[in-house]
Amino acid sequence: MVLVVTTQTPAALALKEGAKTLPVVMIGTGQPVETGLVQSLARPGGTITGVSSQVGDLESKLLQLGRKLVPKLSRVAVLWSPSNPASALSLKNVQALAAKEGISVVPASAPGENPGELERTLSALARERLDVLYVHGSYLSQAAAIGPFAVRHRLSTISAFTSMTRDGLLISYAPDLANVFRRGAYYVDKILKGAKPADLPVEQPTKFELVINLKAAKALGLIIPPSLFARADEVIE
């Protein structure tokens, strides 16, 4: 039997449309119901199942972190990806939540997520009066470039991916991806042994990690609140 494992929402959607009979195990994709990957978490109803990242449910938590870092938080930039439906939904969630809190949202994107476009996008953001930059997971591979920009412009950065914090962003609240991938292997095993994706409910992560990059905080001249330090699962020094 052949199956495909993917961690990307656009890839999973392409497989759903272009390879309708091929079993697909998604690992850490965001908002699978809302993006149309599955009918529901309990009953996927097609050829796709696996583990959601639950990232779409974390925006409220991330905005809370933003307020902890910047108590008078008033303007948040969201670096999102128009080519990723989960990223577009994440932006909408942030906008809706921020509106209730009286926080302005500045959307920004780098088409194709390439270095040249990212540099132009960040240069445009530098002209905005921002308090916090929320970086969507579409820019996972570019966190190392975003970190120095944030330091130069004294901008706190938050994300829902631990690896982005290790690559230079300030703080993240994210699912334990090691455990998410272990659960993904469970789905691969089940399907290879004959189970149908439609019969395997989509799981959501149960363990989350708060990671703080102290090196980034020091470079920003930012004092991390003791309450955040007390809750941190990892502090990068």
Whether the pTM exceeds 0.75: the reply is yes
Note whether 192 and 218 are same-domain residues: no
Note whether 38 and 153 are same-domain residues: no
Note whether 160 and 74 are same-domain residues: yes
112-140, pLDDT tens digit by residue?
A: 666 788 989 999 999 998 999 999 988 98
Q: What percent of the chain has pLDDT over 70?
A: 97
Note whether 50 and 60 are same-domain residues: no
Please tell me the predicted confidence (pLDDT) of residue 56.
Answer: 62
Give the tokens for residue 87: 């990223």
Note whether 46 and 118 are same-domain residues: no
Note whether 157 and 64 are same-domain residues: yes
Note whether 213 and 113 are same-domain residues: yes
Instruction: Tell me the mean pLDDT in the region 107-111.
Output: 89
195-233, pLDDT tens digit by residue?
A: 999 999 999 998 899 999 999 999 999 999 999 999 999
- Average pLDDT of the chain is 92
Note whether 79 and 168 are same-domain residues: yes
Note whether 169 and 180 are same-domain residues: no
Report the CATH number at residue 11: 3.40.50.2300
Note whether 46 and 101 are same-domain residues: no
| Domain span holding position 35 | 4-54+176-206
Note whether 10 and 27 are same-domain residues: yes
Note whether 113 and 50 are same-domain residues: no
Counting the structural domains of the chain, the total is 2
Please tell me the predicted confidence (pLDDT) of residue 55.
Answer: 65
